[in-house]
């Protein structure tokens, strides 16, 4: 894809949604970290239902540890992989208290040392909480980038590296959320809504299916 086409795509996203908002509900960096961890192999809607009750009882590392592993499991049971996620939450709380004064680290290295926190979650935290121009690559971003030819890559790392190179600084802050929301509601894995797409005239996939 030509760079001018990428810029046009991002410009259209910006015009439609100049200030995209993450769909996970949170009131603190810690809440976002836990919610993003829970969102793996789950939906934001389900995570928000679970955390609405959980955060009323515990929404800090200390209060989560006081609540305890078994109670955490009860709250997040509707979430996929809740057993391992509950254990990771407890481990994260210990690490945050012992090594970071209960605060969320502001760098990728320390974030990715937390149990269950990989490059995608670290990227979301750095972008959303610390306003860094990081473009996290989840399934929506990966699918969109390869389907449209926006940033081709055989794996998440390749797509992330490509995005870092081709996305202008001006668009980096919101790029992740623009693509996530577009992938979630329009450029779906199955039955993408191409006729409703605001960039269909720029999309390689749309051209292929209509030839």
Nearest to 136 by CA among 153, 114, 161: 161
Q: Is 145 marked within a binding site?
A: no
| Under 8 Å between Cβ of 80 and 38 | no
Q: Is 27 marked within a binding site?
A: no
Tokens 């709380």 identify what position? 93
Q: Is 187 marked within a binding site?
A: yes
Cα separation, 59 vs 26, in Å, equals: 10
Nearest to 86 by CA among 98, 96, 76: 76
Nearest to 89 by CA among 42, 51, 131, 41: 51
Q: Mind telling me the catalytic residues?
A: 120, 138
Nearest to 147 by CA among 180, 177, 175, 189: 189
Residues of the binding site for [4Fe-4S] cluster: 187, 194, 197, 203
Residues of the binding site: 187, 194, 197, 203
């Amino acid at each position: 894809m030509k760079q001018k086409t990428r810029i046009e795509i991002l410009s259209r996203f910006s015009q439609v949604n100049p200030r995209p908002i993450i769909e996970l509900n949170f009131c603190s960096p810690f809440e976002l970290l836990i919610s993003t961890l829970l969102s793996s192999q789950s939906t934001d809607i389900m995570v928000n239902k679970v955390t609405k009750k959980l955060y009323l009882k515990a929404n800090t590392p200390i209060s989560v540890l006081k609540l305890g592993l078994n109670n955490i499991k009860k709250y997040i049971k509707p979430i996929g992989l809740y057993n391992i996620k509950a254990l990771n939450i407890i481990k994260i709380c210990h690490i945050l208290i012992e090594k970071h004064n209960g605060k969320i680290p502001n760098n990728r290295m320390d974030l990715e040392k937390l149990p269950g926190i990989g490059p995608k979650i670290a990227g979301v935290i750095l972008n959303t909480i610390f306003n860094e121009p990081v473009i996290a690559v989840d399934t929506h971003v990966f699918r969109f980038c390869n389907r449209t030819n926006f940033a081709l890559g055989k794996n998440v790392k390749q797509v992330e590296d490509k995005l870092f190179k081709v996305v202008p600084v001006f668009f980096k802050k919101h790029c992740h959320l623009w693509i996530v929301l577009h992938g979630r509601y329009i450029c779906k894995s199955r039955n993408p809504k191409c006729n409703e797409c605001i960039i269909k005239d720029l999309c390689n996939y749309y051209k292929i299916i209509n030839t």
